[in-house]
A and B are shown apart, each in its own frame.
Chain A
Amino acid sequence: MKARVTVMLKNGVLDPQGEAVRHALGSLGFDGVEGVRQGKVIELELAPGTTEDTVVQMCEKLLANTVIESYRVEMG
């Protein structure tokens, strides 16, 4: 059983790494990239029966810093 957690900086929190990627894409000639946000994906291998609720608790306690980051949990 797996869960995939995507952690992103919240909208409104400046993402300097995303900005740097956007500039780099522009300098490679990729026009039309209006914004880049960079985040991280954390894949969890879970014992059978682990609930999405538990994964949400993991996000709240450790995997995301909810002061500046949002997260999304996908089970399966």
Chain B
Amino acid sequence: MHAAVLVFPGSNCDRDLAVAFERAGARVSMVWHKETGLPDGVDLVAVPGGFSYGDYLRCGAIAANSPICGALKKHVERGGFALGICNGFQVLTETRLLPGALRRNGNLKYICKPVGLRVETADSAFTAGYAAGQEITVPIAHHDGNYYADDETLKALNDQDRVAFRYADNPNGSVQDIAGLLSENRRVLGMMPHPERMAEPAHGGTDGQAMFRALTDQLETA
């Protein structure tokens, strides 16, 4: 499996994400935001956490209009996989590859702590390593993770089993406790929590590891 990790000015989880994929057995290319294309044979594009372009204007807004995101959109339109974590999730909503938007946290605070997540569906390459209903612990670290979508979008997300993770104890005011969601074809996942920061024993837990292993295994055989 070949994963491309995008790097924007202000990304700060790009190396962690690359290591999580590498430890799961994937080949990883780091791709700078000014590139207009992805390396050949990329199966999955990973958009990392951080503060792309200093969060100017809106989190993820300027990154979403960067040259590499044109290539990301084409990759997804071709049926390619994409994973956006934290700022990466914000970028995926700004590109409209995922519905909804991330607002300022309800309590206005930057929140950095491990949180409980309920895996809502195991029916995706991202979550196949978990059981539906399983509770895992993964850290969050964000100021703008308060997910919003209109009622029609929420209905579609629920009806199509596209909510991947919900917070066990909602930290940021997200509608319906949504922490992560899938695209209609189930090949794009955006989530605010950081599985790459809970991917080996030295992190204090390994609950995030199953995502990188499942992706690497499933996309290897695809």
Chain A interface residues toward B at CB < 8 A: 9, 13-14, 16-17, 20, 61-63, 65, 67-68
Contacts and interface: CB of A to CB of B under 8 A. Distances in A.
B155 to A, nearest CB: 16
Main secondary structure of the interface of B (DSSP, over half): loop
B64 to A, nearest CB: 9
A17 B104 CA distance: 8
16 contacts: A13-B103, A13-B148, A16-B103, A16-B105, A16-B107, A17-B104, A61-B65, A62-B65, A63-B57, A65-B58, A65-B61, A65-B94, A65-B101, A67-B99, A67-B149, A68-B101
Contact of B106 (A9, A14, A61, A68): A14
Interface in B14-69: 57-58, 61-62, 65
Interface string B132-152: 000000000000001011000
Contacts of A14: 103, 106, 173
Interface string B91-113: 00110000111011111100000
Contact of B148 (A17, A20, A62, A67): A67
Given A16-B106, A16-B108, A67 B61 contact: no
Contacts of A63: 57
A61 B94 CA distance: 10
B57 A62 contact: yes
Given A62-B61, A65-B94, A16 B173 contact: yes
A34 B89 CA distance: 34
Contacts of B105: 16
A67 B107 contact: no
B179 to A, nearest CB: 18
B103 A68 contact: yes
Contacts of B58: 65
B176 to A, nearest CB: 14
Contact of A68 (B57, B107, B148): B148
Task: Pick the 10 closest A-B CB pairs, nearest first.
Answer: A67-B101, A68-B101, A16-B106, A16-B104, A16-B108, A65-B101, A20-B108, A68-B148, A65-B58, A17-B104
Nearest to B59: A65
B70 to A, nearest CB: 13
B190 to A, nearest CB: 13
